[in-house]
């Protein structure tokens, strides 16, 4: 029983549907009963099963057995974007070969094109958990033009779920049933390394794959050396197999303008690549290049999966020790400054010396350096022309893939902190009104908390009162996002019984701060879960404000002096009747003291 995919059978013209996933998973289990298990870990919005395949020769097939025996786990996640089907087809071929079956078939129908001859059998040292089709509903919404900027296969699935959500924006907010199932899988199995398999968009050029690894720019700084080592070792393996691999996502700094160069991608935790560093775990983003033939992309993805398995068989003990130490450090973050978001350093190149290998520009990236990390690189692109389009009226590049050309362009490889917050020494306090919502999210993410059975009066707490709140002008991923400005300040509060205490002293402290710090870009607040607290509910007619404001001016000379000084110093304020009235409304007894008050509190103590 060869267990070939439809992609191989069709010489990489087609890709299969979910019935193929079910058939192959059953076939793998039947052919290798001592090394393979298959199970359903969730259900999609439309009721489709979400299936995983566990492969190992260690005899450990449960999370508990893996932990007890110290077996490292590689999670291979495919099909988060079903149009990018490379990971599914490559994953089945890679696992089949690792198990001793047939190698990946040749696109011409001839002999297999790859063989795996490692010094040791990786499956004797680790387990691989393969998710072939994460977005099962999108996987079944097939069409010929679902992925127009990609060469093959002829028909693919759709990018979004049945709820029209992009799962690779849902890791923190976890709105979709698919992501909720995935987070439970991650929480229970705790993979040491997760590979998320994708296909790029963008310009046309020679490189066929990009490999990005975290923690390098994100997460615990002491994990960065091992993250860099993992990335460079995998790129080395792919290069030895004929790939031209990049250490960054080849996203032009200015869309459709190759002269603008490239920049490192600053992933936030809504993405898989940004999420796993908050858990002190490694993530590998594999992005094959959309304009390469499908057979090439599947082969390169297969090489990445097998290469990762080989690397884990050798390095997993050291990596596991590193993440355990990171877990211990995370539990001691109370009182420390923690970077919650980063931005690309767009400073000018430090010199004009071109680097022939873009990877040399990323190995020294630092989130604290004030020295420019921008360099000029020699990038292997194709010749192109830019003409004004009769459609849009804008300059549009036209690439000639028959004519390789070196692009000498800037590469912005550095990142800088954009949001840094001091972690509370005690933790967070959640009022009873939000306890069910936040408890569900914390449980999904594997974070611990305690229920406060009794009321707490005049607790020493910090509150976040927003000095500015900006709502998005359009929904994103089905939510009206919120950006707040402000700071935490000491202010005693009382809590009724039934609230939560969420201690900072836990391995997932970075993830906890990602979710509950209101200025974190992927916090629950940023995703709009508390928007009503930043909407004013009590209003005063202007003529009423005029009455009590006049009384306040007459009765409070200090307030009158403050008002006159602000008029003199702030021309915009002086010219704005609404702002002038609000000056008095905020100081009047009728003002809503809970307006713009973030409902979650912080404490320096354990209640």
- CA 12 to centroid of chain Cα atoms: 30
Per the CB < 8 A criterion, the answer to whether 374 and 350 are in contact is yes
The answer, yes or no, to whether the previous bond of 153 is cis (omega within 30 of 0) is yes
Per the CB < 8 A criterion, the answer to whether 37 and 52 are in contact is no
Q: What is the pLDDT of residue 369?
A: 38
Q: How far apart are CA 204 and CA 252, in angstroms?
A: 11
Instruction: Look at the domain 6-332+340-344 and name its fold.
Output: Aminopeptidase (3.40.630)
Q: What is the pLDDT of residue 99?
A: 97
Q: Which tokens in the block code for residue 230? A: 């993992």
Residue 54: C-alpha distances to residues 92, 130, 296, 426, 508 (Å)? 12, 6, 26, 39, 25
Q: What is the pLDDT of residue 362?
A: 36
Under-50 pLDDT residues of the chain? 359-370
- CA 390 to centroid of chain Cα atoms: 38
| Phi, psi of 285, deg, nearest 5 | -95, 115
Q: Which tokens in the block code for residue 367? A: 């989130």
- Secondary structure element (H or E) that encloses residue 456, with its range: strand 456-459
User: pLDDT exceeding 90 applies to what percent of the chain?
Assistant: 87
Q: How far apart are CA 519 and CA 485, in angstroms?
A: 7
Q: Quote the DSSP letter at residue 530.
A: T
Q: What is the pLDDT of residue 368?
A: 36
Q: Where are the domains of the chain?
A: 6-332+340-344, 354-417, 424-536, 542-585
- Secondary structure element (H or E) that encloses residue 198, with its range: strand 193-199
The region, left, alpha or beta by phi > 0 then psi within -120 to 50, assigned to residue 458 is: left
| CA proximity to 18, closest of 51, 46, 47 | 51
Per the CB < 8 A criterion, the answer to whether 202 and 381 are in contact is no
pLDDT in tens, 183-239: 999 999 999 999 999 999 889 999 999 999 999 999 999 999 999 999 999 999 999
Q: Quote the DSSP letter at residue 102.
A: P
Q: How far apart are CA 336 and CA 325, in angstroms?
A: 17
- CA 583 to centroid of chain Cα atoms: 41
Angle (CA) 378 291 286, round 5°: 75
Please enumerate in sequence order all residues whose Cβ is within 8 A of that of 363, keeping only pairs 6 or more positions apart, or say none.
Answer: 228, 232
| CA proximity to 469, closest of 453, 485, 449 | 485
Q: What is the pLDDT of residue 361?
A: 38
Edge-to-edge strands of the sheet including 245-246?
36-43, 49-55, 127-131, 73-77, 193-199, 282-288, 209-214, 245-246
Give the CA dihedral 6, 7, 13, 18, nearest 10 degrees.
Answer: 60
Q: Which tokens in the block code for residue 166? A: 């992009």
Q: Which tokens in the block code for residue 35? A: 């090394």
Other Cβ atoms closer than 10 A to 389: 11
Helix (H, G, I), strand (E, B) or coil at 9: helix
Please enumerate in sequence order all residues whose Cβ is within 8 A of that of 19, keeping only pairs 6 or more positions apart, or say none.
Answer: none
Q: How far apart are CA 425 and CA 492, in angstroms?
A: 16
Q: Quote the DSSP letter at residue 580.
A: H
The answer, yes or no, to whether the previous bond of 215 is cis (omega within 30 of 0) is yes
If you search the block for the tokens 């201690």, which residue do you land on? 503
Give the CA dihedral 449, 453, 455, 459, nearest 10 degrees.
Answer: -30
Q: What is the pLDDT of residue 117?
A: 63
């Amino acid at each position: 029983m060869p267990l070939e995919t439809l992609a191989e059978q069709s010489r990489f013209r087609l890709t299969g549907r979910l019935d193929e996933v079910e058939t192959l998973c059953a076939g793998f289990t039947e052919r290798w009963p001592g090394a393979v298990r298959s199970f359903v870990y969730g259900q999609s919005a439309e009721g489709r099963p979400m299936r995983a395949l566990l492969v190992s020769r260690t005899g450990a097939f449960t999370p508990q057995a893996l932990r007890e025996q110290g077996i490292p786990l590689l999670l291979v996640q495919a099909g988060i974007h079903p149009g990018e089907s490379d990971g599914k087809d490559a994953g089945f071929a890679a696992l089949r070969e690792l198990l001793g079956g047939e190698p990946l078939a040749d696109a011409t129908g001839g002999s297999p094109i790859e063989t795996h001859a490692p010094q040791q059998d990786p499956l004797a040292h680790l387990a691989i958990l393969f998710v072939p089709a994460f977005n099962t509903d999108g996987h079944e919404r097939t069409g010929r033009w679902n992925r127009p900027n990609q060469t093959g296969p002829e028909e693919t699935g759709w990018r979004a779920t049945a709820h029209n959500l992009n799962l690779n924006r849902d890791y923190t907010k976890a709105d979709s049933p698919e992501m909720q199932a995935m987070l439970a899988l991650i929480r229970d199995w705790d993979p040491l390394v997760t590979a998320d398999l994708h296909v790029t968009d963008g310009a046309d050029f020679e490189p066929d794959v990009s490999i990005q690894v975290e923690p390098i720019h994100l997460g615990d700084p002491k994990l960065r050396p091992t993250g860099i080592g993992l990335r460079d070792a995998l790129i080395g393996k792919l290069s030895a197999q004929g790939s031209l691999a990049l250490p960054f996502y080849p996203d032009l700094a200015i869309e459709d303008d190759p002269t603008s160069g490239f920049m490192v991608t600053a992933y936030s935790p809504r993405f898989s690549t940004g999420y796993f560093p908050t858990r002190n775990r490694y993530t590998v983003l594999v992005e094959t290049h959309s304009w390469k033939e499908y057979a090439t992309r599947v082969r390169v993805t297969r090489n990445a999966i097998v290469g990762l398995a080989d690397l884990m068989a050798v390095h997993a003990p050291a990596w596991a020790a590193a993440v355990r130490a990171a877990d211990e450090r995370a539990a001691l973050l109370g009182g420390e400054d923690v970077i919650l978001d980063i931005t690309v350093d767009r400073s000018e190149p430090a010199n004009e010396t071109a680097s022939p290998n873009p990877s040399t520009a990323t190995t020294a990236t630092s989130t604290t350096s004030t020295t420019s990390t921008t360099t000029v690189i020699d990038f292997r692109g194709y010749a192109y022309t830019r003409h004004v389009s009769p459609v849009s009226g804008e300059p549009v590049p036209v690439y000639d893939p028959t004519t390789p050309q070196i692009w000498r362009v800037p590469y912005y490889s550095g990142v800088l902190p954009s949001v840094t917050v001091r972690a509370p020494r005690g933790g967070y306090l959640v009022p009873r009104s939000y306890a069910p919502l936040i408890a569900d999210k914390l449980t999904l993410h594997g974070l611990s908390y305690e229920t406060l059975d009794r009321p707490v009066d005049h607790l020493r707490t910090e509150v976040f009162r927003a000095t500015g709140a900006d709502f998005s002008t359009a929904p994103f991923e089905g939510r009206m996002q919120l950006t707040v400005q402000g700071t935490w300040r000491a202010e005693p509060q009382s809590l009724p019984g039934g609230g939560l205490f969420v201690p900072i002293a836990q391995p997932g402290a970075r993830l906890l701060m990602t979710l509950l710090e209101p200025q974190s870009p992927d916090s629950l607040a940023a995703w709009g879960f508390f928007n009503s607290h930043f909407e004013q509910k009590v209003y005063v007619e202007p003529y009423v404000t005029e009455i009590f404001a006049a009384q306040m001016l007459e009765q409070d000379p200090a307030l009158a002096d403050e008002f006159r000084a602000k008029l003199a110093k702030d021309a915009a304020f002086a010219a704005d009747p609404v702002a002038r009235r609000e000056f008095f409304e905020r100081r009047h007894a009728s003002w809503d003291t809970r307006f713009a008050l973030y409902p979650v509190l912080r404490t320096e103590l354990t209640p």
